[in-house]
Amino acid sequence: MTKEEIKHLGHLSRIKLDDAQVEKFNIEIDAVLEYVSQINEIVAEGELTKTVGPVQNIFREDVITNEPGSYTEVLLDEMPEKEGDLLKVKKILNPEE
């Protein structure tokens, strides 16, 4: 794995990494990938069986299960930035792009 790949993974997983971290994670993740490659000794390409657990989906009626508004206040309290009862975020559309 290269440093460029680590930077790309940082970008994909939305984590800002500095150069020292990129260097460190590059070495450490390489070591882990080498260790996990043992699984190649057990299964070959093309024999990947996919299995489902013993428990299946459980469905309920599609109805409202709690009093409307009963969580509004506590959820609002956790928001890092808000305006009135609205969550505030950066704009996601840039008209110049």
36 lines the binding site for other proteins (CB under 8 A): yes
What CA–CA distance (Å, rounded) separates 17 from 32? Answer: 19
Stretch 55-84: interaction string toward other proteins, x if CB under 8 A? x-xx-x----------x--xx-xxxxx---
Measured distance between the N- and C-terminal CA atoms of the chain, rounded to whole angstroms: 33
Cα→Cα distances 30→3, 22, 33, Å? 11, 12, 5
41 lines the binding site for other proteins (CB under 8 A): yes
Contact 79/86 with Cβ under 8 angstroms? no
Q: Catalog residues that contact other proteins under the rule CB under 8 A.
A: 1, 5-6, 9-17, 21, 24-25, 28-29, 31-33, 35-43, 45, 47-51, 53-55, 57-58, 60, 71, 74-75, 77-81, 87, 89-92, 94
